[in-house]
Structure formats: C-alpha cells, structure tokens
Structure 1
Amino acid sequence: MNAVIQFWTEHTPIFSILIPAFTAFLLVILGNPGAGALSGDWRQPWRRGISYVSSILGLATAIVYLISASNGQINTYNLGEWSAPFGIVLVLDQLSALMIVLTYALATPILWFASHEWDIRGRYFHAMFHFLLMGLCGAFLTGDLFNLFVFFEILLMASYVLLVHGQGKARFQLGIHYVTINLLASALFLIGLGIIYGSVGSLNMADVARLIPLLEPDQHKLAVAGGLLLFVVFGIKAAMLPVGFWLPKTYAVATTPVAAIFTIMTKVGIYAILRINGTIFEDDLSHSILANWLLPIGLITSIYGVIGAIGAERLRRFVGFMILSSVGTILIAISLFNTLAWAAALYYLVHSTLIAAAFYLLSGWITSQRGAFKDHFNIAPQMKQHKVVSLVFFLIALMMAGLPPFSGFLGKVFILQATSHSPYQLVIITVVLIVSLLSIIAFTRIGFVLFWRATTPENNPDTDEFKAYQALPEQSPARNDKTIYLLLSGLIVYMVCAGPIQQYMFKTAEQIQNNALYEEIILHKDNLNQVISVQPYDPENLPETKYGGETVDPNAHLIPYIISEDTLEGEHISEYKQRQIEEQQVQEPAHPDDAKLKPREP
C-alpha cells in the first residue's frame, strides 16, 4: 500500500491526462463500423463500459486532486525527469484542480446521457470524447506555453469531429467555419509563442513571468506584444467580442450532448486569459493595456449577448447568446484585477458552465416534444409534457438570469461586491443590472411563445395534424430529463454551499496571483539559491550530459540540479563528466554570478 501511495504521489498531476489518453487509444484500437451498424455491433457495450469506467475514474481522480490542492499545496511533475525551465512541467494547483473537477463533473453525466442513442449516430464518438477530455485536462495542467498550444490542438481536433457527429449539411457547413476560425487562431498562437520565445528565451510559464521584468525596453515591448497576441487567441476560444460571433450558430447545429460538453470549451479560453495574461504578464505595461481593453470588451460582450438572445429565432441560438453574455460577465470580473473579483469570476464560471449545459439538454427535450416545429420560436401545439418541461424551463431561467437565491444571483453579487474600489463601479453595476433585466425579458419572451401561447392539440383523428401530434413521444428522450435534474441538483448544492466554495475560490485567486510561490515551486535552483536559467537561449550554454565525451564543461556542477538522481547515475553521464561534476562541486562558487551558465569551450 505504501508503494501505491508513493507512486500516486510521485506521478499525481499526469494521471488526469493519461486516463482519457489511454481510454481514447483503446477505443480506437477496438475499432468502429459504419454509423448505421453501430446499434447492432457486439463491441458497442464494451465501448460504453470502457468509456463509463474511464469517466468515473477521471472524476474520482479530479476530486482527489481538489482535496489535495485545497490546502494550498502545488504539485509538479517533470516529464522526462528534466526540471523546468529546460523540461516540460505539469502543475497541479487550486485553479487547475478546480477546472479538472468542473470538466469531469460535466462530462460524466453527459457521457451517460449520450450513451443511450446519440453515440450510435456517428463513428468514434467515445474515442473523440476522451481525446477532448485529454486536451482539456492537459491545458489546465501544463506549465509550459508551447504545450498549452499542443493540448489546445488536441481538444480542437476532437471537437472538429464531435461537431459534425451525426452528419448533416448544416453541421458540415458550420464545421468548416469552425475549423477555419480555429486554424487562424492556432496560427496566431504560434506567432505569439515565437515572439515571446525570441524576446524572453523561454516558454515555461514561471520562467517567462520571472524574466519579463528583467528585459531591455525593446525586448520587453516585443514580449508584451506576443502576450497580447495570445490574448486575442484566447479571446477567440472564449468567444468574446469582437471575435466571438461564431459561437451561437456553431453550437446550435451540434448534437445535444456535444453542445452541452462544448460549454466547457469557452472556459478554456477564460482560464488561459486568467493564467497567462492575468498572472504571467504581470508587469505594469501588460496590465495597463489589458485593463484598458478587458473591461470594455467584457461590458460589450455581456450586453451584445443578451440583446442577441432577445432577437434569437431558435432556442439553441438563444442559449449560445446567453453563453456570450455570461462570458462578458466573467471578463468584467477579471478586468478588476483584485482577489475578490477573481474569486467571484471563478464562482460564476462554474455556475455558467453547468447551467448552459443543462439548457442545451432542455433544448433537446423541447425539440423532441414539438415535432416539425423543433426549437423555432413559432406557436405550436401544447407539448405532451408541458407541465414538467415548463417547470424545468422556469428553474433554468431563474438560475441563468441571475435571480435570487440561486448561484447565478450569488455570482453576480460577488462580482458587484468586488467593484467597491473600482473607478468604474457605477458603470459595472449598471451594466450587470441591465443585462439581468434584459435576460428576464428574453426568457419571458420565449416562455410566452413556447408555453403560454401554445395551442390546443388537434383532436380530430382524421386530420394529419392529429396523427403527427400523436406520433410525438410521450416522454423525454432517454436519460435527457434525468441528466438535467442531476445538473440542476448540483447547482442547487452549489448554491447551498456557496460559503465554503467561495472561500476556496478566494484562496485560489490568492494563489494564482502569487507568482513568487509559483516560481519557487516550479523553477529549480542551484546550491546558491539561483534559478538555473539563461536568457537569451543559447544551446552552447547548457550543461552537456548525453555521451559527453572529453569536452570541458564549466557547467558540470549544475547537472545534479536539473536532472533526477536516477538519470545522473545512468549510462548517459560518462565517467569523465562525473569527475568534472565532483571536482566543480568541491570548488564552491564565491559569487552568485559564478553559478550561472557559461558557454562551453569549442
């Protein structure tokens, strides 16, 4: 048991990536026939069982992560046993633990819902679902900017396939638009990374944060420009204006479970803005530029979203516009750049993700009950389950519009409380209240169309309308209602436990604003407590380890500080190099500059 605990402790941060990765590869190897043959395929129960077990295991792992991180401890995992900034590092702190729990808390019930009939409408649904989870967890855990790009691409490639799951002309057309937009964002991402690397000399998040204040003025401005380019990329992912017009139409054509799980996708962009632009680029120039732009962007996005919802003609697009509005509200909180506001943003982020997913699931339920009218805002015969559907709609409306006593209301109250020292307090309060009022109007409008003005069903058995109405299902799609109840129950618990949850959010906001702690945990130091790094990057300034030969290496004494003991004792360190290490360690450096990396002799 001790060996198991030790293994878990040593490799903790990587399990949330490996679990969905191995699951996805196993499901691909298991094979997949054409979509039309999936329902009778003997492997389908195996796919669902493997997917269930993996999702539940991932949720359990995420909860353990959250409990472990709740005491303020930051766990790191050095891939390849190379310490940061030379190697890739995974970082598990309170923010990443929170986001992973949110991901699995959303994914697990949606996967259960999708596994009844939705997963047989297209090939490799379960494999792509777990590749998506792999990319999400990797993005939340990585401590390296380039690997953030890598995990973004993994989750995006999975989302491309999931978006067109079930086929259809509209899905294919908007899928092309979605791919094009994200390919452009990926290109900008790479350009931004190149600018940052060229000016800073590192892509490790902690190392970039440490080095930016030390740059020359020209290099510093160039690094800030790279950071702002990343902000544009993350803004596209988060669907903030003016780069978020794509979301309502794109999510509207996705199948019901895919649209529901996609509600976490915008939060990846918000997470990246918070992590990268909010904490890594913490210098005065970056903050002044970001603060000047982020608040008006948040205000405009929030207002535009709710106005678009009022003018929407379909329920699914209505949900998409409400997501835009919630993104704007979160950006408003982030723009305040104080601990209380960021804690409020995190609280509202969780609420907005879960309630939007529940609303997409309700859209699927309503669509099945309205037949040919689908989710269009046209007067239609009364739904067979109009009482229970209207009650669920009413509850979701209260939560999403931010009415008391639900979590949406509490989240907005927390945000308004955080504006006490802001010079724009009156503007923020006014916009938040107006958006809430307009949200109520928007929900009243669609409730009026869908329920109150619904006509009496045709009762003449000889008419086609009667036959069409009788052919509609008497119950909700399988597991649809139960999944909605599960998500709404979770939100009610979230509201009841708002006190301790908000305390966790506040500690999380404090931790992510403490860059000194982040750097201390991640960056390795030598015996003089100096960070082993170099700027700008030059491969000649690295200690030589692999088959070092007989080359004189003045940095040999630093080798034990950047690789593990097992690697140090392995075959890649020659006897000649071992002697250099021992000789240089005997000669203690007299000055901190003597401990820095030096170029090797040619």
Structure 2
Amino acid sequence: MHDFIQFWTTHSPIFSILIPAITAFILVLLGNPGSGSLAHDWRQPWRRGISYVSGILGLITSISYLMIASSGQVLVYNLSEWAAPFGIVLVLDRLSAFMLVLTYGLAVPVMWFASKEWDERGRYFHAMCHFLLMGLCGAFLTGDLFNLFVFFEILLMASYVLLLHGQGKARFQLGIHYVTINLFASALFLIGLGMIYGSVGSLNMADVARLMPLLEADQHRIAVAGALLLFTVFGIKAAMLPVGFWLPKTYAVATTPVAALFTIMTKVGIYAILRVNGTVFDDGISREILQQWLLPIGLVTSLYGAYGAIGTDRLRRFVGFMILSSIGTILVAISLFNTDAWAAGLYYLIHSTIIGAAFYILSGWITSQRGEFKDHFKIAPRMKQHNTVAVCYFIIALMMAGLPPFSGFLGKVFLLQATANSPYQIMIILIVLLVSLLSIIAFTRVGFVLFWRSSRPEDDIDTEEYQRYQALPNKAPLRNDKTIYLLLTALVGYMVFAAPIYDYTYKTAQQIQDNPLYESLLLKKDEEGQIISVQPYDPENLPETKYGGESADPNAHLIPALIAPETLHGEHISEYKQRQIQGQQQEEKLPEETQLKPMEAP
C-alpha cells in the first residue's frame, strides 16, 4: 500500500490526462458503424460502459486532487524527468484541481444523459467526449505555454466533431464558421508564442514570469505584444466581445448534450486569461494594459449578453446570450486584480457553467414538448408536462438572473463587495444591477410566451391539430429531467456550502498570485543558488542530446540538477558526457556559469 501511495503521489498530475486519452483510443479501436446502425450494434453497451467507468474514475481522481490541493500543496510532474524550463511540466495546484472537478462534475452527468439515444445519432460520440476531456485536463494542468497550445488544439479538434454530431445543414454551416474562427485563433496563438520565445527565451510559465521584469526595453515590448496576442486568442475562446459573437448561434445548433458540455469550453479561455495574462505576465506594463481593456470589455460583454437575450427569437440562442452575459461578469471580476474579486469570479464561474448546462438540457425538454414549434418564441399549445417544466424554468431563471438566495446572487454579492477599493465601483455596481434587471425582463418575456400565453390544446378529435398534439411525448426525453434535477440539486448544495467554497476560491486566488512559490517549486538551482535558465535568448545555444557527438560542453555540470539520477546514469547519457560531468563537478564554478554557453560545432 505504501508503494502504491508513493506511486500515486509521484505521478498524480498525469493520470487526469491519461485516463481520458487511453479511454478515447480504446473506444476508437472498438470501432463504430454508421449512425443508423448504432442502436442495434452489440458494441454500443460496451462503449457506454467504458465511457461511464472512465468518467467516474476521472471524477474520483479529480476529487482526490482537490483534497491534495486544498492543503495548499502544489504537485509538479516533470515529463520525461527533465526539469523546467527545459522540460514540460504539469502543475497541480488549487486552481487546476478546482477546474478538473468542475470538468468531470459536468461531463459525467452529461455523458450519462447522452447515453439514451443521443449518442446513437453520430459516430464516435463517446470517443470524442474523452478526447475533449483529455484536452481540457491538459490545458488546466500544464505549466508550459506551448503545451497549453497543444492541449487547446486537442480539445478543439474533438469539439469540431462533436459540434457536427447528429449532422444537419445548420450544424455544418455554423461548424465551418466555428472551425475557421478557431483556426485563425490558433495561428495567432503560435505567432504570440513565437514573439514570447524569441524575446524571453522560455515558454515555461514560472520562468517567463521570472524573466519578464529582467528583459531589455525592446525585448520587453515584443514579449508584451505576444502576451496581448495570447489575450486575444483566449478572448476568442472565452467568447468575450468583440470576438464572441459566434457563441449564441453556434451553441444553438449543437445537440443538447453537446451544447451542455460546451459550457465548460468558454471557461478554458477565462482560465487561460487568469492563469497567463493575470499572473505570468504580471509586470507593470502588461497589467496596466490588461486593466485598461479588460474591465470595459467585461462590462460591455455582460450588457450585450443580457440585451441580446431580450431580442432573440429562439430559446437555445437565448441560453447562449445568457452565458455570454455571465462571461462578462467573470471578466469584470478578473479585471479588478485583487484577491477578493478573483475569488468571487471563480465562485461565479462554477455557478455559470452548471446552470448554463442545465438550461440547455431544459431547452431540449421544452423542444420535445412543443412539436413543430420547437424552441421558437411563438404561442403554442400547452405542454403536456406544463407544470413540471414551468417549475424547472422558474428555478433556472432565478438562479441565472442572480436572485437570492441562490449561488448566482451570492457570486454577484461577492463581486460587488470586492469593488470596495476600485475607482470604478459605482459604475460596476450599476451595470451589474442593470444586467440583473435586464435578465429578469428577458426571463419574464420568455416565460410569458412559453407558459403563460400558451393556448389550450385542441380537443376536437377530428382535427389535424388534435392528432399532432396527441403524437407529442407525454414524458421528458429519457434521462432529460433527471439530469436537470441532478444539476439543480448540485447548485443548491453549492449555495448551502458557499462559505467553505468561497474560502477555497479565496486561497486559490492568493496562491496563483504567488509567482515566487511557483518559481521555487518548478525551477532548479545550481550549487551557487542560481536558477538554471536561459536569459537573454541566444540562438547559438544548442541542446545536448545522446547524438550530439563528442564535443566540449561547458554546460555539462548543469545536467545533474535537471534530470533524475536514474536517467543520469542511464543509456541516454554517453560515457563521454559522464566524464565531462564528473570533471566539471570537481572544478570550481563561478555563478555566471549557470547561464548556458554556446557549444562548439563538432
């Protein structure tokens, strides 16, 4: 048992990525016939079973991570045993554990809901869900900017397939727009990374945060420009204005479980803004520029979402606009750059994700009960489950509009309290209250059309309208109502335990602002106490490899500090290199030798 615990502790951060990755590959290898044959395919129960087990195992793993992180411990996992900044690292802290629990806490009930009919409408649904989870978990855990790009691409490729799940002309058209926008964002991401690496010489988050204040003026400007490009990319992912117009229509055409699962996607962009622009690029100029732009962007996004919700003509687009409004509220919290505001933003982030997913699933229920009227805001015959659906809608409306005593209200109260020392306090309070008022008006309008003005069903058995009404289902789609009840119950619990949860988010906000903590945990030092890194960037620095030849290497003495002892004495370190290391360790080294020196070409 001791060995197992030691193994688990040593390799913990990687399991949240490996579990969905291995599951996805197994599901792909299991094969998948055409969507019309899935209902009768003998492998379909196996696909669902494997997906359930993996999802539950991932949820248990994320909860165990949360328990580890709640003590303030930060776990660092060096891939291939090479330390940062030369190797890629995974970092498990309070924020990443927090986001992992949210990811699996939403994914498990949504996949359970989708396993009744929805997953039969297209190929490889469960495999793509787990590839999406792999990308999400990797993005939340990585401590390297380029690795963040890699995991972004993994989750985006899975989302392209999931968006088209179920086929249809509208999904294909908006899918093309979605893919085009994200390909453009990916190109900007790479350009930004190139600018940062070319000026800083590193892409490790802790190392970049350490080196930014030390850069010369020209290099610093290039690095700041690269950081702003990354901010634009993350803003596209988060759907903030003016680069977030795509969200309401795109999510509206996705199938119900996919739209519910996609509510976590925008939070990846918000997470990246907080993690990268809020803490890595935390020097004076970067923060000043971000504060100048992020607050008005957040306020406008929040207002636009509420205003667009009032004017939309379909329920699923209405949900998208309300999600857009909640994104603006979180961006306002980040823009204040204080611990209280960030804690409030993180608390509200969980609420907005879960309530958005519940609302999309309710939209599927309402659509199934309205027949040819679907989710259009037109007067239609009363739904057969009118009272039950109305109660669910009313509860969701109260939660999403931020009315007491629910978690949406508490999140906004925490945010308003955090504006105490802000020069824009009055403006923020007025706009947050105005958005809440507009949200109430929007929900009232929708409820008025869907429920209060619904017409009496036709009772003449000889009419065509009567036959169409009788053909409508008497019950909610399978697992639809139960999934909504589960998510709403979770939000009630979230409200009840608001005090300890807010305490966790507050400590999370404190931790992620402590750059020296991450620097001490991720970066290695030599015998003189100097951090082993590259600054400034020198293109003549060549990496040492097994196949580098027998060239004199002035940096050989740094190798033992960067890799594990087992690797140091393994086959990948040549005998010639071992002799260099041993010889240099016996010599007296000066502090400036911690900077990498160019190797002579063989």
2:199 equivalent in structure 1: 199
2:280 equivalent in structure 1: 280
Are 1:168 and 2:175 an aligned pair? no
1:305 equivalent in structure 2: 305
| 3-state DSSP of counterpart to 2:182 | helix
Gaps of 5+ in 1: none
Query: How many Å separate the matches in 2 of 1:313 and 1:544?
Result: 62
- State the Cα deviation string for residues 234-276 of structure 1 (Å, max 9, x = none): 0000000000000000000000000000000000000000000
Query: How many Å separate the matches in 1 of 2:334 and 2:548?
Result: 49
Query: How many Å separate the matches in 1 of 2:239 and 2:544?
Result: 45
Are 1:524 and 2:524 an aligned pair? yes
Are 1:377 and 2:377 an aligned pair? yes
| 3-state DSSP of counterpart to 1:274 | helix
1:477 equivalent in structure 2: 477
Query: How many Å separate the matches in 2 of 1:256 and 1:52?
Result: 19
1:130 equivalent in structure 2: 130
- State the Cα deviation string for residues 381-428 of structure 1 (Å, max 9, x = none): 110001010000000000000000000000000000000000000000
CA contact (8 A) 1:139 1:148 kept: yes
- State the Cα deviation string for residues 425-468 of structure 1 (Å, max 9, x = none): 00000000000011001000000110001111000000011111
1:599 equivalent in structure 2: 598
Query: How many Å separate the matches in 2 of 1:397 and 1:342?
Result: 25
- State the Cα deviation string for residues 188-215 of structure 1 (Å, max 9, x = none): 1111111111111111111111111111
Corresponding letter in the other structure for 1:272:
A
Query: How many Å separate the matches in 1 of 2:402 and 2:150?
Result: 36
| 3-state DSSP of counterpart to 1:76 | strand
1:574 positional shift: 2.5
1:525 positional shift: 1.4
Query: How many Å separate the matches in 1 of 2:573 and 2:168?
Result: 58
Query: How many Å separate the matches in 2 of 1:541 and 1:558?
Result: 14
2:430 equivalent in structure 1: 430
CA contact (8 A) 2:533 2:594 kept: no
**Percent identity between the two aligned chains:** 77
2:97 equivalent in structure 1: 97
1:328 equivalent in structure 2: 328
Query: How many Å separate the matches in 2 of 1:273 and 1:451?
Result: 40
1:65-464 equivalences under 5 Å are: 65-464=65-464
Query: How many Å separate the matches in 1 of 2:241 and 2:125?
Result: 31
Query: How many Å separate the matches in 1 of 2:594 and 2:177?
Result: 53
Corresponding letter in the other structure for 1:375:
D
- State the Cα deviation string for residues 35-61 of structure 1 (Å, max 9, x = none): 000000000000000000000000000
- State the Cα deviation string for residues 155-192 of structure 1 (Å, max 9, x = none): 00000000010001000100011001111111111111
CA contact (8 A) 1:548 1:573 kept: no
Corresponding letter in the other structure for 1:95:
L
CA contact (8 A) 1:90 1:141 kept: yes
CA contact (8 A) 1:212 1:283 kept: yes
Query: How many Å separate the matches in 1 of 2:155 and 2:599?
Result: 41
1:527 positional shift: 1.6
2:60 equivalent in structure 1: 60
CA contact (8 A) 2:95 2:512 kept: yes
Query: How many Å separate the matches in 1 of 2:52 and 2:326?
Result: 30
1:51 equivalent in structure 2: 51
Corresponding letter in the other structure for 1:36:
G
CA contact (8 A) 1:543 1:553 kept: no
- State the Cα deviation string for residues 45-83 of structure 1 (Å, max 9, x = none): 000000000000000000000000111111111111111
Query: How many Å separate the matches in 2 of 1:187 and 1:543?
Result: 27
Query: How many Å separate the matches in 2 of 1:462 and 1:549?
Result: 90
Query: How many Å separate the matches in 2 of 1:151 and 1:396?
Result: 32
1:544 positional shift: 3.0
| 3-state DSSP of counterpart to 2:91 | strand
CA contact (8 A) 1:543 1:559 kept: no
CA contact (8 A) 1:543 1:558 kept: no
1:540 positional shift: 5.0
CA contact (8 A) 1:542 1:597 kept: no
| 3-state DSSP of counterpart to 2:143 | coil
- State the Cα deviation string for residues 455-513 of structure 1 (Å, max 9, x = none): 11000000011111111100000000000000000000000000000000000000000
| 3-state DSSP of counterpart to 2:382 | coil
Query: How many Å separate the matches in 1 of 2:43 and 2:436?
Result: 48
| 3-state DSSP of counterpart to 1:45 | helix
1:564 positional shift: 1.1
Corresponding letter in the other structure for 1:274:
L
Query: How many Å separate the matches in 1 of 2:531 and 2:474?
Result: 67
Query: How many Å separate the matches in 1 of 2:5 and 2:349?
Result: 33
CA contact (8 A) 2:85 2:533 kept: yes
CA contact (8 A) 1:543 1:556 kept: no
1:486-505 equivalences under 5 Å are: 486-505=486-505
1:599 positional shift: 2.5
Query: How many Å separate the matches in 2 of 1:165 and 1:550?
Result: 55
1:553 equivalent in structure 2: 553
Query: How many Å separate the matches in 2 of 1:538 and 1:578?
Result: 25
Corresponding letter in the other structure for 1:598:
K
1:11 equivalent in structure 2: 11
CA contact (8 A) 1:166 1:255 kept: yes
Structure 1-normalised TM-score?
A: 0.98
- State the Cα deviation string for residues 522-565 of structure 1 (Å, max 9, x = none): 11211222111112444654573525654222222111001111
CA contact (8 A) 1:25 1:127 kept: yes
Aligned residue pair count:
601
1:32 equivalent in structure 2: 32
Corresponding letter in the other structure for 1:322:
M
Corresponding letter in the other structure for 2:23:
T
Pair 1:21–1:428, CA change in 2 (3 A) = same
